[in-house]
Structure 1
Amino acid sequence: MIDHPAAVFAVLASIASLFFWLEGRTGWRGFRLFPPLLWIYAVPVLLNNVGVLPPKSSAYDMLSDVGLPAMLVLMLVSVNVGSVLRVMGRGVLVMLIASVGVVVGAVLSFALFRPWLPPDAWKLFGGLAGAWTGGTGNMAAVAGGLGLAPEDLGLAVLADNVVYVVWLPILLGSKSFADRFNRWAKVDPRRIEELEEAALAHREEV
């Protein structure tokens, strides 16, 4: 078993680097359904269960206490505040309403299945709500704040990606009637153009 903190950290960093490298180098279509993040969570879980990695290590604590805050800061540093302010409008209200809906849905789902779940399962629902209101970085932040166990975080990531696999084809298929929906919802075409320009500018910066 690999138990030295530096070695554990090296294994985890290598796994993360490997799958992001494979995605960029091979262009494998499977990464569209099963993104690198899923593999980055699943492989260490597998290595832990077969006895290669330890269930507890100071390396995990370091990544949680130091790596996670640093990652969140790096994510926020790249935000173009000017672009965000330009495209703000009714979209902000829509996002707020959708976020409230996700949080309420998480609470109701937990209440519905609570008799069959362990006492601390609410933390997993909180992590999922974080993912669906702010992405993977938000999920990690919420999981850290709630004290979600690593194995439960892995389950949350798995559930998140299962939903993603089902939702993505529906989302891609919705493009065929997007124009009709926009007309029905009375969406300002200029707002769409601003969003597309902001997304393009962000992609070029990255």
Structure 2
Amino acid sequence: MITDDRIILGLLAAVLAFVFVTRDRPSWSRFYTFVPIILVAYLLPSLMVTFGLIDVTDSNLWPVAKDYFLPAALFLMTLSIDLKGVIGLGPKALIMFFAATIGIVIGGPIALYIVAQFDPSIVGEGSGAAWRGLATLAGSWIGGGANQTAMLEIYQFDISQYSALIAVDIIVANIWMAFLLYGAGASTRMDRWLRADSSAIDALRDKMANYTSSVKRVASGNDYVLLFGTTFAAVGLCHLLAGPLGAFFAGVNGDDSVLASQFFWVVLFATTFGLAASFTRARALEGVGASKFGTVFIFLLVAVIGTKMDVTQIAETPGYMAIGVIWMLIHTILLLAVAWLIRAPFFFVAVGSKANVGGAASAPVVASAFHPALAPVGVLLAVLGYAVGTYGAILCAEMMRAVSGG
């Protein structure tokens, strides 16, 4: 079992190289017709963990991916964005986002009630009551890590049982992400089933592709140094500003506040700096491959996220896992029903869901699976998820308390 991060990163890079090489081979064309390339890049690392090739228990790759790759990708992918085009996508994005939120809020108590009918012991009592622990799951699935921590502090769940909820969070959310990535590769068929008009999304994608072609040029070494220098200077500035702001709000609102999360501010600043740069001459850096390098960072992020899922852990927490699966099914059914009613494209289903369940680390990944130009839509909705996460999780927790008879 490999535990050295340097070797693990090399293996992940080799996986990505394998995926991109085979994508262009005629013998693999049928396979990639049905299985999106980004899904393969996500699942292969997870299989490496599941079958014991690598062990990421003490790995620092996720902090590196989150602190370096993600803000760099957000900056590069928003650098050439057409903000007017994003706004022009209309209100369906917000409708699907809040449908996803409602699905999580009502899904928790329904799932707990269903499983309790078969296993009454799952309800628990005192600090070990299931509803207290599931409140942390609601915080994570509506907002993110900061909201999850806030729920743990508010409801004082037995910390010795907390690892079971972490396993449910990671496994269920990542399996759902795999389905969404597959759906991104079959979005045309999904849109046909949803009777959706994706013309606005297609127009934005085509407009971005045309802009990239119009400014494309042969890059020099100076161009690449300028591109990477600008990108990582922006990443450094994000962390420089995020630290004091997080500390300030931690002092004002407590460590469990979303605004106390440095990650929240890093995401916000990376997106803001990229959008601001898109109104300047820096936008021309798209001509030397800004969004392409952003895609590289996104795929590195996808591969690292894949290492966080070990499907063998499902058997270790069957009761909580059953609740998590039913919960996610309710979330999914509501999302698809609303999308069918308002004829929303599958893009809004996927991004609205991951803006809740995955947050800023996953929403742009899923959005970019449709097209790199659409990544900012995922980021903007994920930031909204942070804002409503605590309130939605508290409402969900109180409903689960009522179901439990507490």
* TM-score of Structure 1 vs Structure 2, range by shorter chain: 0.5 to 0.7
Is this contact kept in 2: 1:45–1:151, CA < 8 A? no
Matched with 1:14 is 14
Is this contact kept in 1: 2:137–2:148, CA < 8 A? no
- CA shift digits 1:63-95 (9 cap, x unpaired): 22222222222222231235445xx2xx42222
- CA shift digits 1:19-52 (9 cap, x unpaired): 2443344462433443223222322222123222
| Separation of aligned partners in 1, 2:13 and 2:72 | 15
Q: Which amino acid aligns with 2:15?
A: I
Where relative contact order (Cα < 8 A, 6+ residues apart) is larger, the structure is 2
Question: 1:58 Cα shift?
Answer: 1.9
Question: Which runs of no fewer than 5 residues in structure 1 stay unpaired?
Answer: 128-141, 183-191
Q: Give secondary structure in 1 for the equivalent of 2:54.
A: coil
Matched with 1:73 is 75
Is this contact kept in 2: 1:5–1:58, CA < 8 A? yes
Matched with 1:189 is none
Question: 1:57 Cα shift?
Answer: 1.0
Matched with 2:173 is 156
Q: Give secondary structure in 1 for the equivalent of 2:46.
A: helix
TM-score by length of structure 1 reads 0.62
Count of residue pairs brought into register by the alignment: 175
| Separation of aligned partners in 1, 2:167 and 2:20 | 21
Is this contact kept in 2: 1:12–1:44, CA < 8 A? yes
TM-score by length of structure 2 reads 0.35
Query: CA RMSD, aligned part only?
Result: 3.9
Q: Residues 195 and 67 of structure 1: is their aligned pair in 2 closer, same or farther, counting only changes over 3 Å?
A: closer
Higher radius of gyration, 1 or 2: 2
Matched with 2:105 is 107
Q: Which amino acid aligns with 1:4?
A: D
Write out aligned runs for 1:10-89 (5 A).
10-26=10-26, 28-54=29-55, 55-84=57-86, 88=88
Q: Give secondary structure in 1 for the equivalent of 2:90.
A: helix
The answer to whether 1:95 aligns with 2:93 is yes
| Separation of aligned partners in 1, 2:24 and 2:146 | 29
Is this contact kept in 2: 1:83–1:198, CA < 8 A? yes
Is this contact kept in 1: 2:48–2:54, CA < 8 A? yes
| Separation of aligned partners in 1, 2:21 and 2:171 | 21
Moved more, 40-49 or 20-29: 20-29
Q: Residues 33 and 63 of structure 1: is their aligned pair in 2 closer, same or farther, counting only changes over 3 Å?
A: same
